[in-house]
Chains A and B, each alone.
Chain A
Amino acid sequence: MSVEVGTRTAGGIGQRAIRPDGVAKVRGEFAFAGDLWAEGMLWGQALRSPHPSARIRGIDVGPALLITGVHAVLTADDVPVNRYGLEHRDQAVLAGDVVRYAGEPVAIVAADHPDTARRACAAIVVDYEVLAPLVDPGLSQSVERPIHPDGNVFRDLVIRRGNPDSRGPVVVEGDYEIGMQDQAFMGPEAGLASPAADGGVDLVVSTQWLHNDRDQVADCLGLAPELVRLTLGGVGGAFGAREDVSLHIHACLLAVRTGRPVKIVYSRTESFLGHVHRHPARIWMRHTARPNGEIVSVESRILLDGGAYRSSSYHVTANAACFAAGPYRVPNALVHAIAVRTNNPPCGAMRGFGVVQSCFAHEAQMDLLASACGLDPVEVRLRNALAPGDELLTGQRIEGALPVAEVIRACAALPLPAPAVDDVLARPGGAGRTAGARDVRRGVGFAVGFKNLMYAEGYMDGSVARCRIDGGVVTIACAAAEVGQGFVTLVQQIARTVLDVDDVIVAPADTDMGSAGSTSASRQTMMSGGAVEKVCRAARAELERRAGGDEVDIAALTAREPVDVTEEYHHRLTHPLDADGQGDAHVSFACAAHRAVVDVDPELGLVRVVHLATSQDVGRVLNPLQVTGQIEGGIAQGVGLAVMEELIVEGGQVRNASFTDYLIPTALDAPTVDAVLIEEPEPGAPFGAKGVGEPPTISSTPAIVAAIRDATDAACTRVPVRPRDLVP
């Protein structure tokens, strides 16, 4: 039977289906990893280096062990294999002889009370030989000795396209800087590790990628992978920060050592120190064009500060380079992107992954180009818009859907917001009640961005899902991490549509089954959505075989013998980039346009982001509620990077590791959003849908900054835009 998707009215594909965990979440009964408890449980705590660069001459844990209630204090000597890392194992679980960033763990404690554990950490005496930290990424390659045996360069990538010496008569160039943004999810890192009778360990943890974590934990503990079992604890947001291991190995080491369950929950400060951030970047870019605005060439140098360890710097570099020119036709290009090691906090994945940084630069350039050619900012973008059949900087031809011109037109056509209401709270500075109505200037800015979906450069990606139907009860299992985005809703929608049932149980995600890969790169809708669709179709086929036709009584057909099938989904193969940065490296792309309206008080340098209009290429809307949620939430993070969010790092020290000092948008800071969704189904993707999580965060930031420039004439070449950038 061919299944007509999108025709179900009750909770199927395309419907406003409600989250299966929604009621538990509003009732405060949903079990986040930090809510876990076990009989006899101890609390774990890490001691972190206060120095960004130092040699450890010795550690005296004796004073900590004397504290009543302390059960274990572990250092590097207690770690069977003291190396881990997301893509490359260049990081110590506990620093042995060298610390390379302020916040690097040097010892861990298990105690009967979190405060006992904190006091024990304070009692540990570490003898540091403090060294001068390498904090300027511009100097990383020229220092005499690298700060790590693997060297100071994570990746050095050049993309050459066409004739890089070609020039158009119109030339615009600029230097841009992007500050260090933090994912700042609301639920701090948390996990509970329990020793198992078979010598293994069970870990319930908030993460984005159970299987990658499992492998790292097993390797570091010297255990076979099957002896390390991970289950997803409730995740309070992720946005890239939970791709890297945080407390996982620490909790498991302590559990195995003490023979007791050990829970670790980060404080907000420890969370800021204990996960990777968005790479700060310095970008130079030069565009040349014909007088009519058609781009002739783009040159760029991109310097990313990867901090002390590699994390995902290698692939962030590729994204920054591959999408450096934005969703525009560029016949000639020379892009040089490099990510380097410093003694600053490690940087890695955050929503938009390398493209956020490039987009801020290329969209500022497009506005300069519009101005130089006497064109409207929307017109110059339309004139250069990429379309299917065009080639990227990497020479890859766009085969799928990519409606760049359509999102630009749809966004530009949305009505502008009304003038601000006459209320001081609605003015820049808000509750500070500082701005006078007559001083406020309004500005409008436009930006467009695009990004790859899924992993790239030949990565063999897949996702596994299992469907069991027993007595008519449908249970779907998939190890994809639900981090808030609503994958669990999508599982139910797909199963309802394909199997024509109302009730679908979503099993907990764990490592007892095959990997679903990471909840990142806007990939789970396609990858794990694809696996769930595939397994549901296989189950459907089995039901029809049993029925001898397409009249399926699902309860009767599974009353005696359950249907139990497992399927794996893969996307098409991609390929590495060659020496000129050319190659068919990416699976799929999505674009979005943003138009921002801001009010600025130029005397005080205060900005209120009033309104964001957006149009986004979504392939197909699987759940309008959830797509809207991703767009509004992603824009809020773009607002944060544009005008308020930056981890301030001075001399390798994070100066604002708290919500008192690192400000994220509140309800008074968040703009009203109007969105138009462009549905051009992606060929080959399940239901034609694209991942929607990242595009909202990419071009919202440059649109807001363009609006600030429009209101003030300030250059604003750096984000976040600070009051001092606006007040002469």
Chain B
Amino acid sequence: MTEMYVLRVNGDEHAVADAWLGESLLYVLRERLGFPAAKAGCEQGECGSCSVFVDTTLVCACLVLAAAAADTEITTLEGLQPSARGAVTDVQRAFVETGAVQCGFCTPGLVMAVHALLETDPEPTDLAVREAISGNLCRCTGYGRILEAVEVAVAARRGAAR
């Protein structure tokens, strides 16, 4: 039933021993390895709150079996953001300053989704942003401030590139 496997998370290897092989990547990240940023909102891959990168693909960690993610590079929000206490990425800063955070449960997943979008499309249209984050449900904000946060982050990157 159980055997050991190794997950590579944010560049570090973590041995997972004596664990039920039916556990999702989300459960193992949160409950066994101490990466709580990904949230369990639906455990059906509908809400995006548990978004992490497996290699370069943004996935819902609730839909990935942890043991099946051995031999991949897993990046969680903890690995994406600066490690210094209280330090933030440009996207995170924009979320805080535009009022895009209310209860904050969806926020880590949305930050991941926006980073993923801006990696491939640094100047997204409004519809492109909406589509890119449409897999991340938010119940508090109505998305208005989140869309503004993306605009602010895009503008900041544009300014920095000049």
Contact = CB atoms under 8 A, between A and B. Distances in A.
Interface of A: 16, 18-19, 21-32, 34-35, 37, 113-115, 183-188, 234-237, 239, 265, 267-268, 421, 423, 425-426, 431, 483-486, 625-626, 628-629, 631-637, 658-660, 664-668, 670, 672-673
Interface string B1-39: 000000000000000000010110001001100001111
Interface string B88-132: 100010011111011111111001000000000000000101110
A485 B140 CA distance: 8
Contact of A486 (B36, B46, B76, B102): B102
Of B98, B104, B144, the most chain A CB neighbours within 10 A belong to: B104
Contacts of B27: 114
Nearest to B146: A667
Nearest to B138: A186
Nearest to B92: A26
Contacts of B73: none
Interface string B51-69: 0000000000000000000
Given A22-B96, A629-B145, A632-B143, A236 B42 contact: no
Given A37-B31, A186-B139, 17 more contacts: A23-B92, A34-B39, A35-B36, A185-B105, A186-B49, A187-B105, A421-B127, A426-B127, A484-B102, A484-B104, A628-B144, A632-B141, A633-B142, A660-B46, A666-B130, A666-B143, A668-B130
Contact of A25 (B31, B40, B107, B142): B107
B99 A626 contact: yes
A629 B141 contact: yes
Contacts, number: 192
A136 B103 CA distance: 36
Given A26-B95, A659-B47, A660-B46, A236 B20 contact: no
Given A22-B101, A236-B105, A636 B39 contact: no
A40 to B, nearest CB: 14
B140 A268 contact: no
Nearest to A34: B40
Q: Is the interface of B mostly helix, strand, loop or mixed?
A: loop
A27 B47 contact: no
A183 B103 CA distance: 14
A546 to B, nearest CB: 34
A636 B44 contact: no
A27 B81 contact: yes
A32 B107 CA distance: 12
Given A625-B98, A628-B144, A658-B44, A185 B20 contact: no
B78 interface: yes
Nearest to A659: B46
A26 B101 contact: yes
Contacts of A625: 98-99, 145
Nearest to A267: B43
A184 B142 contact: no
B99 A629 contact: yes
A25 B101 CA distance: 7
19 contacts: A16-B99, A28-B38, A31-B36, A32-B105, A35-B30, A186-B49, A186-B138, A186-B139, A267-B43, A268-B44, A629-B102, A632-B144, A636-B143, A659-B44, A659-B47, A666-B130, A667-B136, A668-B131, A673-B142
Given A268-B42, A268-B44, A667 B140 contact: no
Contacts of B134: 431, 666-668
B133 interface: yes
A26 B139 contact: no
A660 B44 contact: yes
A530 to B, nearest CB: 22
B143 to A, nearest CB: 4
Of A23, A28, A631, the most chain B CB neighbours within 10 A belong to: A28
A423 B77 contact: no
Given A23-B86, A34-B39, A660-B46, A634 B142 contact: yes
A265 B40 contact: yes
A633 B77 CA distance: 25
A519 to B, nearest CB: 12
Given A632-B144, A659-B46, A664-B137, A186 B105 contact: yes
Nearest to A629: B99
A666 B137 contact: yes
A114 B31 CA distance: 11
Of B102, B127, B145, the most chain A CB neighbours within 10 A belong to: B102
Given A28-B77, A664-B137, A670-B144, A235 B99 contact: no
A236 to B, nearest CB: 3
Given A28-B36, A425-B127, A186 B137 contact: yes
Nearest to A700: B142
A484 B103 contact: yes
B70 interface: no
